[in-house]
Amino acid sequence: MNRSLRQPPVTSYGVTQRDATASAIEEAVEQVRRLGFATLDAGFGADEIDEISKAFNTVHARYVHEWGAERLKALDELHTIRALVTQGHQVFRRLALNRNLIAALQQLIVGKFVLNQQNGIINPPGETYNQAAWHRDLPYQHFISSTPLAINALYCVDDFTQENGATFVLPASHKTSAFPTQTYIDRNAIQIEARAGHYILLDCMMFHSGGRNESAQTRRAVNHVYNIPYFKQQINIPRNLKAEDLSEEEKAIFGFCYQEPDSVDAYLASREPKNR
Ligand SMILES: O=C(O)CCC(=O)C(=O)O
């Protein structure tokens, strides 16, 4: 972005409406609304960040063993762990339910929202991967909305640096329906550097892409797409997660309350006061 190195003016005139922020969460929310992206500290300590990193590797090894590296590679899925939250490790539940994140989402998405997907994303050194191309997280869609319908919270398991392929974004591209020209991209794309333990929040209609990892290590992340409950989940989470140890609020976020009824009978039953 072209930013002046000097302090911007603090005075204004003709302004009758203005945003107000009182916390780092609200500052992130303001920036997502205006530019389509922001970083947000999850508030984890060093031990927790390390625990997530180790759990990522454990679950990844198990996932590749279960589905087979050759098959995953043939499907362009080798660098993705699908439906992490259903893979039996508590830390991924905590990542999806993080208090700072949920507080930001409550301000960004008007009304109820559900987790659509939570995937482990591996940006391998020196080769491309399936997120290294411009896209929206509601792909194949060219509408714009006045308020976010879906937000991606990309948790940085490792530091995101220019060298290891930190995510590229096209600021404010959630405000225009069409994808811009390459000239526009070359002039306006920026890379978001962020420390491990932070989420990169993206309005899902903002164009973004993983960058090329020129470092010697993999760069790992966990993406979370949350959306209004009218969009179907990438993989059905309630059918793959035990409800017993979840609170009502957690069940709502994982989509337990928004499954489509199987029949008119089931729909009418869902309308009974005791089931609402
Ligand atoms: O890996 C990245 O930097 C980008 C991830 C991404 O594009 C996504 O989660 O949709």
Find out whether 150 and 117 touch, Cβ atoms under 8 Å: no
Residue with tokens 């920036």: 31
Mean pLDDT calculated for residue range 102-122: 97
**Residues forming a β-bridge with 41:** 198
- Report how far ligand 1's centroid is from the alpha carbon of 134 (Å): 9
Residue 146 included in any domain: yes
Residue 253 included in any domain: no
Residue-wise pLDDT for 183-226, tens only, equals 999 999 999 999 999 999 999 999 999 999 999 999 999 999 99
Strand boundaries in the chain, DSSP class E: 37-41, 80-81, 114-123, 150-156, 168-169, 190-191, 198-203, 208-209, 219-227
Q: 153-191: string of b/e by CB count within 10 Å (b at 16+)?
A: bbbbbbebbebbbbbbbbbebbeeeeeeeeeebeeebee
- Report how far ligand 1's centroid is from the alpha carbon of 109 (Å): 20
Q: What are the helix and strand counts (H, E) for the chain?
A: 8, 9
Residue 238 included in any domain: no
DSSP class of residue 79 equals T
State the burial class of residue 131 (Cβ atoms within 10 Å of its Cβ: 0-12, 13-18, 19+): buried
Query: Which residue of 223, 225, 226, 227 sits with most ligand 1 atoms within 8 Å of its CB, as the best mutation to test the pocket?
Result: 223
Query: Which residue of 208, 212, 214 sits with most ligand 1 atoms within 8 Å of its CB, as the best mutation to test the pocket?
Result: 208
Residue 113 included in any domain: yes
In the prediction, which pLDDT does 142 show? 96
In the prediction, which pLDDT does 243 show? 87
Residue 244 included in any domain: no
Is the CB of 164 inside a 6 Å radius of any atom of ligand 1? no
**Distance of alpha carbon 53 from alpha carbon 158, whole angstroms:** 8
The closest residue, in CA terms, to atom 1 on ligand 1 is: 210
CATH of the domain at 87: 2.60.120.620
Give the pairing of strands 168-169 and 208-209.
antiparallel
Question: Taking 70 as the threshold, does the pLDDT of residue 4 lie above it?
Answer: no
Question: Taking 60 as the threshold, does the pLDDT of residue 59 lie above it?
Answer: yes
Percent of the chain with pLDDT over 70: 98
In the prediction, which pLDDT does 1 show? 46
State the burial class of residue 241 (Cβ atoms within 10 Å of its Cβ: 0-12, 13-18, 19+): buried
Residue 241 included in any domain: no
- Report how far ligand 1's centroid is from the alpha carbon of 210 (Å): 5
Find out whether 82 and 90 touch, Cβ atoms under 8 Å: no
Contacts of 180 (CB under 8 A, 6+ apart): 170, 173, 188, 207
Residue 182 belongs to domain spanning: 24-231
Amino acid at 250: E
Question: Taking 50 as the threshold, does the pLDDT of residue 242 lie above it?
Answer: yes
Is the CB of 117 inside a 6 Å radius of any atom of ligand 1? no
Query: Which residue of 39, 131, 135, 156 sits with most ligand 1 atoms within 8 Å of its CB, as the best mutation to test the pocket?
Result: 131
- Report how far ligand 1's centroid is from the alpha carbon of 266 (Å): 38
In the prediction, which pLDDT does 3 show? 56
Find out whether 79 and 73 touch, Cβ atoms under 8 Å: no
Residue with tokens 């966990």: 222
**Residues forming a β-bridge with 234:** none
Residue 249 included in any domain: no
Is the CB of 152 inside a 6 Å radius of any atom of ligand 1? yes
Is the CB of 203 inside a 6 Å radius of any atom of ligand 1? no
Question: Taking 90 as the threshold, does the pLDDT of residue 6 lie above it?
Answer: no
Residue 15 included in any domain: no
Is the CB of 210 inside a 6 Å radius of any atom of ligand 1? yes
In the prediction, which pLDDT does 5 show? 74
DSSP string, 216-265: SS-EEEEEEEEE-TTSPPSS-SGGGS--TT--HHHHHHTTGGGPPPSSHH
Beginning with the edge strand found earlier in the chain, give each strand of the sheet holding 150-156 in spatial order: 37-41, 198-203, 150-156, 219-227, 114-123, 80-81
Find out whether 7 and 88 touch, Cβ atoms under 8 Å: no
Is the CB of 36 inside a 6 Å radius of any atom of ligand 1? no
Is the CB of 119 inside a 6 Å radius of any atom of ligand 1? no
Give me the number of domains the chain comprises: 1
